[in-house]
Amino acid sequence: MSRRLGGLDDVDPAAVPLPPGTEVTTGVDRVAGDRVITRGAVGRVVAVADGWIDVELVGAGRLRYRRDELTPRKQGLIRYARRRADAWTRLAGGVVIDAIVGSRLWGLDGPGSDEDRRGVFVLPFPWTTGLVEPPGDLASADGGRAYWELGKTIRQALRADPNTLEMLFAAGDQADAVRDPIGAELVAARDAFVSVEIYGAFGRYALSQLDRLEHDARLADHRGRVLGWLRAEPTLSLDQVAARLVEAARIVAPTAADAQLRARDYVKQLYRSMYDRGQLPAREWRALVAFAAREAGHFEPPREQRPKNAYNLIRLLDLAIRWLESDAAAPPLRVPDALRPTLWAIKRGEVPMAEVVAMARALTPRLEQARATTRLPRVADVARAEAVLRAGRAEAARRHLAGEPGAARPRRRGAAGRPVRAPRRRPRRRPRRRPPRRRPRRRRPGPLPRTRHVPMIETLTDAPTAAVIRAHLAREAARRHHLVVYLSGAHAYGFPSPDSDYDLKCVHVAPTAALVGLVPHEGGAEHIEVVDGVELDYGSNEVGAVLRGVLRGNGNFLERLLGALVIDEDAPRMASLRPLVRGAVSRLVFRHYAGFAHSQIRAAEASQPPPAKKVLYALRTALTGAHLLRTGVLITDLGRLCEPYGFGGAQELIAAKRAGERVPLAAEVWERWRGELGRAVATLAEADRASPLPATPPDEASRAIEAWLVAVRRERFEP
């Protein structure tokens, strides 16, 4: 399936951005002191500046390379980097909030501190209504700027995410942080996200992370001991190091052998984790010994174990207490003067981790007291947050429909916050022979056309039953707009019996406004009921989910859109959609039909003796899939398929099924058909191997379907 950010077949590993943290492989030799680090060395990007990339290399320290001298170490990194770069290129113009955060916001910055920015971006209308889930994050190549999508921002803020709340309140105090009225509306509503949830999201989270840091600090001490021993005595074996570690770390276990085993496991985890971080060239003991001989003296701890994280967690605890104690919407985000020297000392690594943890535990009683006495609301104002999200997406949609470029085009606002028109510029004079042309006034899109009754059901059943079905569909159509109503089940498969139910499987189009809130409401339904003696099995899925299923090879959804027994449909829309769906059929359907056929065979084997219905369902599934794979044509009527594929004996089963839903098969008949079902599944597998269909939907077909969907969303948009 095509992705909106472009395919990956043409990804150039030498061209995608390499943000800090990316594992890379070098493509040239480099001199490091008196050594030559040959090409193929593995390392991790630590800095990007002025066209150069600093890489921490295994066994060589930090060296500098040009971009074209490095490639990502793993294919997944290439894909991620490409998608991130494409998202930034296409969506950075939609940033509506851009605030300074981090140490500069907290008053803890120094001469070498970076300027970190966080904010919010708004997706263009087609990105929120298409088939592919759009990016929820944007990040610059150097990692210094990161932005969350409007909906994601609001969801994070509702659960009192610290980074999100700090960004919103910082933006309100920074003159140039708000770039667009959509961002202004969000910042104006930031008080709606403040609640007692701050206790858990800030305070308890910080305490739990400090406990983890304390644990990691003990492991780091063990790591330092192991590396020190190996550096002093490179000939030590794994068992010898484990024995020393048992004594040094005072490992407690039921027996001495158990303690030795725990120590061995820790050492193994050490070199495996170092390999995963790109610090060792191999995941083995010898690589750890070689590393200790070269690097043990200046080993850089993992990011989560650095003092910077510890000081930030203490800061979060303090902010949580002050926020819970405050009567105002938010206390100052700047660290109090009395606490700042302590945090500086922690950041510089001058305070042992045990003292940091003790400091945090000393703050716990005050945190609990602040929660008990706080005046903050228990929960955030979800209704207000929902209104902000809907207003922001409605404005983005309005700009798209009006042809205004970008989702973040600013509009001037008056003192009361209402939009005001920019002063009209004096029009340029034109020659009389070229009078100005008036742009035609854009009409507001109207509702989708009513569905058209197809006189199919009247030919399949008696008039009273058809009237019951029509009345039921009319009630459901009042709740949702049916794109198509398809009669599935035994009627579509060619073997209905007098007691068969009526499977009414539908596809509907939800109002666009219902899909852009915090919780999208697709309006689906599924129920079984008996009306005047007629059993109705009704189900409806929203067209977006259906089309995503079509592109993944979902046969149920394909049959709804391409099947023959159509009762109602939105004729103009279906006439334009069906050719697109046919063009998107691929060999992915094999998995659906094979899986369903196998499940039907298992159900038949579980029934002794099985009814003819179960055998027919398995056979119908296999042959429908086989025919679709061979020809690209969807036929669900088993009566049309069994003869061409060599299963003419199924006519006998069809006749038995038409006599009743639960007519059992004789034991000898079932034994014969058990082998025939195996042959049917083999026919399906052979059709897959010989299929002329593409392996996946062509990109142009996926894009055409998405364009169709966006057009329908646009028509269903009500500003």
What pLDDT shows up at residue 657? Answer: 86
Q: Classify residue 580 as left (phi > 0), alpha (psi -120 to 50) or beta.
A: alpha
pLDDT tens digits along 426-444: 444 444 454 544 544 444 4
Rounded Cα distance, 287 and 297, in Å = 16
Token pair in block for residue 36: 């030559």
Q: Give the pairing type, strands 61-66 and 52-57.
A: antiparallel
Rounded Cα distance, 167 and 189, in Å = 13
Q: Which residues contact 695 (CB under 8 A, 6 or more apart)?
A: 586, 587, 588
Residue 51: its H or E element = none
Rounded Cα distance, 139 and 481, in Å = 39
Cβ–Cβ < 8 Å for 590, 625:
yes
Alpha-carbon distances, residue 439 vs 405, 435, 442 (angstroms)? 17, 13, 9
Neighbours of 459 (CB within 10 A): 8
Judged against a pLDDT cut of 90, whether residue 339 lies above it is answered with: yes
What pLDDT shows up at residue 86? Answer: 79
- Alpha helices for 180-299 (secondary structure H): 181-188, 197-198, 205-232, 238-249, 256-276, 285-295
pLDDT tens digits along 367-384: 999 999 999 999 999 999
Residue with tokens 């179960």: 614
Q: Quote the percentage of the chain above a pLDDT of 70.
A: 87
Beta sheet of 525-531, edge-to-edge order: 452-453, 566-569, 481-488, 502-509, 534-542, 525-531
Rounded Cα distance, 575 and 559, in Å = 15
* Angle at alpha carbon of residue 235, lines to 233 and 236, rounded to 5°: 80
What pLDDT shows up at residue 423? Answer: 36
Rounded Cα distance, 28 and 14, in Å = 13
Is there a cis peptide before residue 410, judged by omega within 30 degrees of 0? no
Is there a cis peptide before residue 609, judged by omega within 30 degrees of 0? yes
Alpha-carbon distances, residue 350 vs 209, 214, 292, 345, 415 (angstroms)? 20, 16, 25, 5, 51
Confidence class for position 4, pLDDT limits 50, 70, 90: very low
Rounded Cα distance, 448 and 624, in Å = 33
Rounded Cα distance, 56 and 54, in Å = 7
Token pair in block for residue 405: 């470029």
Cβ–Cβ < 8 Å for 40, 25:
yes
What pLDDT shows up at residue 441? Answer: 46
pLDDT tens digits along 189-210: 999 999 999 999 988 888 777 7
Nearest-CA neighbor of 368 among 330, 326, 324, 336? 324
What pLDDT shows up at residue 3? Answer: 39
What pLDDT shows up at residue 607? Answer: 81
Judged against a pLDDT cut of 50, whether residue 167 lies above it is answered with: yes
What string of H, E and C letters represents the secondary structure of 582-627? HHCCCCCHHHHHHHHHHHHHHHHHHCCCCEHHHHHHHHHHHHHHHH
pLDDT tens digits along 100-133: 999 999 998 888 788 899 999 999 988 888 888 8
Judged against a pLDDT cut of 50, whether residue 555 lies above it is answered with: yes
Cβ–Cβ < 8 Å for 508, 483:
yes
The larger pLDDT score, comparing residue 469 to residue 278, is at 469
Confidence class for position 682, pLDDT limits 50, 70, 90: very high
Residue 341: its H or E element = helix 340-347
Mean per-residue pLDDT, 684-710: 94
Residue 519: its H or E element = none
What pLDDT shows up at residue 415? Answer: 35
Judged against a pLDDT cut of 70, whether residue 447 lies above it is answered with: no
What's the pTM value of the predicted model, to 2 decimals?
0.74
Residue with tokens 């190091």: 241
Rounded Cα distance, 206 and 199, in Å = 10
The larger pLDDT score, comparing residue 177 to residue 18, is at 177
Confidence class for position 606, pLDDT limits 50, 70, 90: confident
The larger pLDDT score, comparing residue 294 to residue 506, is at 506
Cβ–Cβ < 8 Å for 488, 457:
no
* Cα-only R_g, the chain: 33
The larger pLDDT score, comparing residue 83 to residue 355, is at 355
Cβ–Cβ < 8 Å for 397, 407:
no
Q: What does DSSP assign to residue 553? A: T
What pLDDT shows up at residue 90? Answer: 86
Rounded Cα distance, 659 and 653, in Å = 10
Work out the mean pLDDT of the chain and round it to a whole number.
Answer: 84
Confidence class for position 660, pLDDT limits 50, 70, 90: confident
Amino acid at 299: F
What pLDDT shows up at residue 111? Answer: 82
Judged against a pLDDT cut of 70, whether residue 347 lies above it is answered with: yes
Alpha-carbon distances, residue 681 vs 28, 184, 251, 390, 466 (angstroms)? 54, 60, 58, 49, 36
Judged against a pLDDT cut of 90, whether residue 82 lies above it is answered with: no
Residue with tokens 């809907």: 390
Q: Quote the percentage of the chain above a pLDDT of 90.
A: 47
Confidence class for position 20, pLDDT limits 50, 70, 90: confident
What pLDDT shows up at residue 300? Answer: 55
Write down the number of H helices and E strands in the chain. 27, 17
Alpha-carbon distances, residue 643 vs 2, 428, 640 (angstroms)? 38, 76, 7
Nearest-CA neighbor of 342 among 312, 319, 321? 312
Q: What does DSSP assign to residue 39? A: T
Q: Which residues contact 271 (CB under 8 A, 6 or more apart)?
A: 280, 283, 284, 285, 287, 288
pLDDT tens digits along 405-418: 655 443 433 333 33
Confidence class for position 570, pLDDT limits 50, 70, 90: very high
